[in-house]
Each structure stands twice: as C-alpha cells, then as structure tokens.
Amino acid sequence: MPVIVVANPKGGVGKSTLATNVAGCLAAAGHKVMLGDVDRQQSSRQWLALRPPQLPAIVGWDVAADDIVRPPKGTTHVVLDTPAGLHGKRLEAVLRIADRMLIPLQPSLFDIQATHAFVKALRETRRGAEIKLGLVGMRVREHTRANEQLHHYLSTLPVPVVAWLRDTQNYVQLAAHGLTLWDVAKSRVERDLEQWAPLAAWVKA
C-alpha cells in the first residue's frame, strides 16, 4: 500500500492543492484512497467536507500530529498532506510511514531556499534517503525569468522533477467545490491533465 506524502517546510507552496488532486487522480483510477492531514489548518479535511458524494470516494483519515499510524486494511493508497515547518519528531513520524514524497515549490527565491534545505535534511537521514522523492513545480508561468531560474535550480538537485503545473484558476475553482481535475469534463481541464500525465504515472507506479 503506497503512502504518498506531500511535504515542504515552506508554507503556501500548494501542498493541499497537490495532495487533493493526487487523491482525486488515484480515486478516479478505481483505488481506495485515504487522504490524511497533519496540518493544523486542516485544508484537506475541509476540502473533503465539500466533496459531492456521487464522485469517486476519497475517505478522510484522522491523523493526530504526534501519533501517525498505519491506516486500516482495505485502503490501497494513502495521500498525506503536511504542514509548513515540518521538522523534528513530526517529520520523523511522517518518514516512518512514507513510501514516496512529493515536494511542491513555486518559482520564488524563498521556495528554492526552503526546498534546498529540506532535501538536504531528508538525504542526511537514513529513512529519508530510502524514500522515493519527486519535485513538482507549482503555479509555473512560462516564458518568465522566475520560471527559468526555477528550472535551472531544480536541474542542480539530486531529485527528479515529476511535473510542471501551470498557474491557473482551475485549481482554485475546483477546490471550492471539493473537486479535482478528474471530476469535471476533460475539455475544461485538458491542458492541466496533459501536465499531470507524468505525475499521474509516478503516483500509480
């Protein structure tokens, strides 16, 4: 049972957006998905409360910040949303159950610095060195200097970039109704689904 953690110590990088859509991608493929949230803001839990019941099911997972345990039997995939400032014992608890980790970041100096330090810290731990890591560029605007700098920086990290996701209101509008890219007509989000193709393959592999 894969446990996919979405983490970055920097706040506002798009962790909940990424986590909810990863869960939606897996649920649309027929998997039994649980979405956990160890963020005090509980963004993913609030999103789940908005999700229409007729859509592919995503079950919430009550996760205490200091007591992260394996989910119940019957679950095929777990997606875990995490808070900003993830470190210390809470990070250790997350790493104990994680099989894979997606690290989202935006094209900003602050995101780059935080991500660099986070990846370094992960690789220095025994468990962090074993987990499959993947970077995801969030809210990317093509043909901008910030985007070029982000591409250059990420090419220097020993972690693969799984996907580049564009800056679009689609994510905001869908989240407001508990939806993901896989819950609406493909024609509405065709470009976004194309960008998600390698990421979808990564989480399902």
- List, for residues 9-21, the tens digit of each pLDDT value: 888 899 999 999 9
Q: Which pLDDT score is estimated for 35? A: 93
What sign does the dihedral 169-170-173-179 (CA atoms) show? negative
pLDDT band at 39 (very low <50, low <70, confident <90, very high): low
Whole-model pTM: value is: 0.91
pLDDT band at 104 (very low <50, low <70, confident <90, very high): very high
Q: Which pLDDT score is estimated for 69? A: 56
Residue carrying structure tokens 């989480």 = 203
Alpha helices, DSSP H only, in the chain?
A: 15-28, 43-50, 88-97, 109-123, 126-130, 145-154, 170-175, 190-204
What superfamily would CATH give domain 3-204?
A: P-loop containing nucleotide triphosphate hydrolases (3.40.50.300)
Q: How far apart are CA 181 and CA 164, in angstroms?
A: 15
Q: Which pLDDT score is estimated for 29? A: 95
Q: Which pLDDT score is estimated for 90? A: 81
Burial of 67-91, coded b for 16+ CB within 10 Å and e otherwise, reads ebeebeeebebbbbbbbbebeeebb
pLDDT surpasses 90 at 74: no
pLDDT surpasses 80 at 40: no
Average pLDDT, the chain: 88
Q: Which pLDDT score is estimated for 167? A: 95
pLDDT band at 71 (very low <50, low <70, confident <90, very high): low
Mean pLDDT of 44-57: 92
What are the sequence ranges of the domains in the chain? 3-204
Mean pLDDT of 174-192: 97
pLDDT surpasses 70 at 72: no
Q: How far apart are CA 80 and CA 30, in angstroms?
A: 18
Q: How far apart are CA 200 and CA 72, in angstroms?
A: 24
pLDDT surpasses 80 at 140: yes
Residue/partner pairs of 93-96 with CB below 8 Å, 24 or more apart: 93/66, 93/67, 93/68, 94/5, 94/7, 94/38, 94/68, 95/122, 95/125, 95/127, 95/128, 95/131, 96/68, 96/127
Share of the chain above pLDDT 90, in %: 53
Residue type, 98: A
